[in-house]
Amino acid sequence: MSTIVPASTHAIPSFADGAYMHDIAIALAAATPLIVAWLFVYATFKIIRLVTRATTVALGITTALVAAFVMIGHLHR
């Protein structure tokens, strides 16, 4: 018994496919807030690291700030 493997043209939809582009747009829209949040966390870490000069302390403070914002966000709902 042999397995039939589809050609790559059938396995990967083309960019002209409307449903595929809709899925890509949804994925990009979902990823944008995550990227923005990561940039804020990274900038906060860099600013705190400039002040403290110790990576471990800056990481701890940044983690505490992120945890506080997440908890406040959950409690606000």
pLDDT: which is higher, 20 or 71:
71
pLDDT of residue 23: 84
Residue (of 22, 23, 65, 74) closest to 44 by Cα position: 65
Q: Is the pLDDT of residue 42 over 80?
A: yes
pLDDT of residue 16: 67
User: Which distant-in-sequence residues (6+ apart) come within 8 Å of 45 by Cβ?
Assistant: 58, 59, 62
pLDDT of residue 9: 63
The Cα 34–Cα 76 span in angstroms is: 20
Terminal CA-CA length for the chain: 57
In the chain, domain spans? 36-77
pLDDT of residue 24: 84
User: Considering the chain, what is the average pLDDT of its residues?
Assistant: 85
0.75 exceeded by pTM: no
